[in-house]
Amino acid sequence: MILLDGKKTSLEIQAEIAEEVKVLKANKGKTPHLAAILVGNDGASQTYVNAKVKACEHVGFQSSLFRYPEDFSEKDLLAKIDALNQDDSIDGFIVQLPLPKHIDVDKVIEQIHPDKDVDGFHPANVGKLVKNFPTYISATPFGIIKLLEHYKIETSGKHCVVIGRSQIVGLPMSILMGRNTYPGNCTVTLCHSRTQNIAEITRQADIIIVALGVPEFLKEDMVKEGAVVIDVGITRIDDPSKARGYRLVGDVDFEKVAPKSSYITPVPGGVGPMTITSLLCNTLLASQKK
Ligand code: GUN
């Protein structure tokens, strides 16, 4: 079993990004600038956004964080997005999800200008992804693709089972793994809450990508010997024995599944850091395009 070390891989990619930033600064006097909007007090979202800001500093990007209270109105959020769309000093921006319930997430995503949508969530960018046109690929699927590439994992002709059909992970992931390229060329099965006999399907998988948010969903008896296992889940579980009061648990029963796998991502330190690095890649691209 080989651990897919997202932390180490992302630091290597971040070193390359930092070099490109130096070139951009020297040649064009430009510093890539990522902005993030965070609405409300969701603990995990605050952690993720802080990590994104820290990663920007690490590679020499400028970053701006706009924080708003839980009761921030949809109208005001849309107006802020308009302002960022028009702000030439910002190359790309994200609106951290989830949003409070009174805000229509689809409306918010559609308000982001596709050229600044470094999360790759806008329907225009999703459409480009489906058409295999150049675009911003959403950060988590893009990070998984980079990890498979980095470890030179064979994907052609393999059966890839994606569990979870979310707009930001499962659905784009299933499209990427079926594309006629590397990594890709898989036979893809997309499983979701209505899928019957899921264990029968996962047992046939050469590559399993779990993005459900259900701690330790993927058990030992659901995985065939030698499978590649990618765990996107990261749930906080109360744990008084930890200084911060919780531990992070993935969607895979790691202890039992790891010995059966050929490759597996740890949680934390697998997909998470790759997601952040992919966001940096998209922001660099946005900055270079301008
Ligand atoms: N919430 C969970 N993952 C993401 C992500 O990749 N981007 C944004 N904007 N919100 C998220």
Amino acid at 84: L
How many independent structural domains does the chain possess? 2
Residue 122 Cα, ligand 1 centroid: separation in angstroms?
Answer: 13
Among residues 34, 61, 13, which one has the least CA distance to residue 275?
13
pLDDT > 90 fraction of the chain, expressed in percent and rounded: 99
- Residue 18 in domain: no
**CATH code where residue 100 lies:** 3.40.50.10860
Q: Is 253 in the pocket of ligand 1 (CB under 6 A)?
A: no
Query: For the segment 174-208, what is each residue's pLDDT rounded down to a tens digit?
Result: 999 999 999 999 999 999 999 999 999 999 999 99
Q: Of 5, 117, 119, 231, which is the active-site residue?
A: 119
Ligand 1 atom nearest to CA at 36:
9
204 part of the active site:
no
- Residue 285 in domain: no
pLDDT > 70 fraction of the chain, expressed in percent and rounded: 100
Strands (DSSP E) found in the chain: 2-3, 33-39, 62-68, 92-95, 159-163, 187-191, 207-210, 228-231, 235-238, 246-249, 263-264
| Same domain, yes or no: 161 and 230 | yes
| Same domain, yes or no: 171 and 259 | yes
Q: Which domain holds residue 173?
A: 139-272
Residue 153 near residue 263, CB atoms below 8 Å = yes
Average pLDDT, the chain: 97
Choose the residue to mutate in 46, 125, 168, 277 for probing ligand 1, maximizing ligand atoms within 8 Å of C-beta: 168
Average pLDDT over residues 143-151: 98
Query: For the segment 258-275, what is each residue's pLDDT rounded down to a tens digit?
Result: 999 999 999 999 999 999
| Same domain, yes or no: 32 and 77 | yes
pLDDT over 90 (residue 290)? no
Give the pLDDT band (50/70/90) at residue 115.
very high
Phi, psi dihedrals of residue 96, rounded to the nearest 5°: -65, 135
Q: Of 52, 80, 116, 146, which is the active-site residue?
A: 52
| Same domain, yes or no: 110 and 149 | no
Angle, to 10 degrees, between the axis of helix 123-131 and the axis of helix 170-178?
20
The residue written with tokens 């979701």 in the block is 192
Q: Give the residue, by CA position, lying nearest to ligand 1 atom 6.
A: 139
- Residue 4 in domain: no
**CATH code where residue 201 lies:** 3.40.50.720
Report the C-alpha dihedral over residues 265, 266, 267, 272, rounded to 10 degrees.
-50
Amino acid at 280: L
- Residue 130 in domain: no
Query: For the segment 7-58, what is each residue's pLDDT rounded down to a tens digit?
Result: 999 999 999 999 999 999 999 999 999 999 999 999 999 999 999 999 999 9
- Residue 167 in domain: yes
Return the number of other C-beta atoms located less than 10 Å from residue 149's C-beta: 13
Residue 22: the pLDDT is 97
pLDDT over 90 (residue 241)? yes
Query: For the segment 69-108, what is each residue's pLDDT rounded down to a tens digit?
Result: 999 999 999 999 999 999 999 999 999 999 999 999 999 9
Amino acid at 245: G
14 part of the active site:
no
